[in-house]
Chains A and B, each alone.
Chain A
Amino acid sequence: MPSNSPDRWGVTNLRLAFPKSQSMFFKDLTFHYRRGEKILLLGPSGSGKSTLLQVLTGLVPGSVELPMRTEERSVPESWGFIFQDPDTQFCMPYADEEIAFVLENRRIERKKMPGMIRRYLDMAGLSLDDPHRLIRTLSGGMKQRLAIASILALEPEVLFLDEPTAMLDPEGTKQLWETVRRIGQERTVLIVEHKISEVLDFVGRVVLFDDGGRIIADGPVDAVLSKHRKELDNFGIWYPGAWSGFIKQNRGHRAARSEPKPLVELKDFRVFRKKTVKFSLSHLTIHKGEWIAVIGENGAGKSTMIEGMMGLIRRQGTVHWHLDDPEDEVAFVFQNPEYQFVTDQVADELAFKLMLKKKDAKETNQRVNEALKKFSLFDQRTQHPYQLSVGQKKRLSVASALIDRPKAVILDEPTFGQDARNTFRLLDLFQTLREAGTTVIMVTHEREIVRHFATRVLRIQAGRLVEDRSQRPEREEGAYGRHLGEHGEVVF
């Protein structure tokens, strides 16, 4: 098989090592693809899919130096790469300049550039009135489409997409796949993705990796997905139907709730960002034991509302907590866990709040150990929080917020960017908290959480509360979620 033919690319017997690890990561991995194929690479996080994409393009070892060896490797002549993080793909301040950067690299004549820039923006479905627009002012979804426009300027025949929607909301995700569908028609496309529902009808071939970086299945979509459902569950992949299996086992908002005593009352509440009112509300009462989902479009003011409730940004009006010390008894979990870490070790991170309150060493120790076990972080207890995986970081940030048993917990998109496994376990945990009387308030885009778990839904639009809907509980007894062990601890 001549793998250097112009229609077939890939690697034969790839071996690769990560710094500081003793063993080879890929051991004699062979993977090839043909012109025009649309391929989805699936696997648990850390299974080396992204690295493989970079090997297939030559970014590894060209730009990212990793020790590797292949028997044979053929890289397509022209390719484009879309990365996960919309913010770090650009080097210029303005949208037109970013595409021009690529054209400059290709040594295109200057006077042809403005026309080409417009054309590539149109192709990517990003219609800007004036292409000279600050990239910083674009939404995440628009940034990703700009990234597509700028790689279209490379006129690539192969597109590599490395979790392009991981940091996008549902709307941005939908538009991105529409664009990819359109521009990918005539091209070869390789996609690494965890949220696969929207790409399944676009791809023709699925390659499934295990956590050791081995290929365990490779074939047509239906064959692989139906035969390997168990692996998909274990790897936390968001396949269609991932929710339904989970939801059946959790009572969600149907579970009984405690007597509705008020927890916090907001009156003539206004929150400011840079001196302008970004959220206002005339009256709202939140009760103990509610699970509140705050929903709405991007930029509607959801985060502004909860940050205002916490007093993190300037606010006016009355915020009355029916608590002795709200600053102490209300926990807050940010979207990016890394900002929240204040120590250099997982165990210290959990102990921090308890030390601050001068609890005695024995109790602190005991509670930290409980939390480490409950959140499956025991083996990581001496690691630096930054060394954890995405899911572990999120768990640690939630665990450290909950360690002192707050009366209420406010979370900003707690399941965002998390795999299915981690999401379901976190939801089970919040469910037990709520059933025990803790109020859970979360900003979320996830439809299933809103539908199944929230007891009350607040819809925010243009800085105002436009809908306040309660989901009635039916008094019915059911089993605890399957992710809870016999002592009610969460099994991650």
Chain B
Amino acid sequence: MDAIWASTEKWFFKINPSLKFATIASLFIVYLFVHNLNTMIWTAVLFAMLYFAVNGLAGKLAFGLLSLILVFSALSSTAMVFFGKGTHVLFDWYLVVISEESLARGILIGLRTFIFSILGLIMASTTEPVPFFYSLMQQLKVPVRYAYGCLAAFRMLPMMGEELVHIRQAMRVRGLLRKKGMRARYERLKRYTVTMLAQSIRRAQRTAVAMEAKRFSMSQSRTFYYEIGWSRYDLYFLVLIFAAAALGFFLAFWFPLTPYTDVLDQ
């Protein structure tokens, strides 16, 4: 995990993770009901700026993830853009019919994907797993077995990464990579899956026994090494997010970039 973070000192890391989680989850619901294309455009721009300002990731990774969600957003808009209904046809080629209306709706869907992803990224790129799960246990009363279970699972991710490298090397040595064609690909995929599954199940079983050997009990009360509390940063965060969201709506009103204030209107 340390290789991912460039800095965990930024102030977004000091926000109570449960609050961050709840706020961002409620924003998801808000933007589910926005049909104004202008609002979505401005909001997307604002949150993308916010993401760059607050994330604690290494620079390259931050850009990489952003381009990844851009691709996803573009893909998610295509179905609506290419095949949606509309009267003002811009482009027509066999099954593909692009109309002004379908273009607007498609872009809105793409932007919604983008906003959801960028909000998720703001959360993920400013929260370390351990404080997050401690906060879930302390503020949201998530049962300890799920929280520690997830933490134990996090520990396995880098191991699985290393394992993938080993399996690939072994396949090369055994000559599995020399085979070409669909069947060989299927064989390789099967090998990766079987090996990784077998190793992971075994590891999970051993870890579970080791945790119980350390007297981990799912029912009894426990103390906590980290006390996740509240601070002024929580207030700043709420104000900032509210301001950013509100600004999105206002900018759409003041500087409408497109005529589509409700894409559902015919």
Contacts and interface: CB of A to CB of B under 8 A. Distances in A.
A150 B179 CA distance: 48
Given A59-B213, A103-B225, A339-B170, A85 B206 contact: yes
A356 B178 contact: yes
> Which residue among A100, A104, A341 has the maximum number of chain B CB atoms within 10 Å of its CB?
A104
Nearest to B169: A312
Contacts of B166: 334, 336, 339
Chain B interface main SS type: helix
A308 B137 CA distance: 47
B131 to A, nearest CB: 11
A25 B55 CA distance: 57
B207 A91 contact: yes
A216 interface: no
B190 to A, nearest CB: 9
B169 A307 contact: yes
B188 to A, nearest CB: 9
A102 B223 CA distance: 10
Contacts, number: 135
Contact of B130 (A63, A97, A154, A312): A97
Given A63-B213, A386-B198, A342 B151 contact: no
A110 B223 contact: yes
A63 B212 contact: yes
B183 interface: no
Given A93-B155, A312-B173, A154 B212 contact: no
A110 B173 contact: no
Nearest to A340: B170
A59 B151 contact: no
A353 B175 contact: yes
Contact of A88 (B210, B216, B225): B210
A57 B209 CA distance: 12
Interface string A362-398: 0000000000000000000000001000000000000
B173 A105 contact: no
Contacts of A400: 174
B132 to A, nearest CB: 12
Contact of B152 (A57, A59, A91, A105): A91
Contacts of B209: 54, 59, 63-64, 83
B10 interface: no
> Which residue among B167, B172, B214, B215 has the maximum number of chain A CB atoms within 10 Å of its CB?
B214
Contacts of A64: 209
A92 interface: yes
A338 interface: yes
Given A59-B209, A83-B206, A108-B223, A342 B217 contact: no
Interface in B1-43: 1-2
Contact of B214 (A105, A109, A307, A341): A105
A256 interface: no
**Pairs A-B, 8 closest by C-beta atoms:** A100-B225, A91-B152, A88-B206, A81-B213, A339-B170, A63-B212, A89-B210, A332-B173
Interface of A: 54, 57, 59, 62-64, 80-81, 83, 85, 87-94, 96-97, 100-110, 113, 134-136, 150-151, 154, 307, 310, 312-313, 328, 331-332, 334, 336, 338-342, 352-353, 356, 386, 400
16 contacts: A81-B210, A88-B206, A89-B206, A90-B155, A91-B152, A93-B154, A105-B222, A107-B222, A136-B155, A310-B173, A332-B173, A334-B173, A341-B195, A353-B175, A356-B175, A386-B198
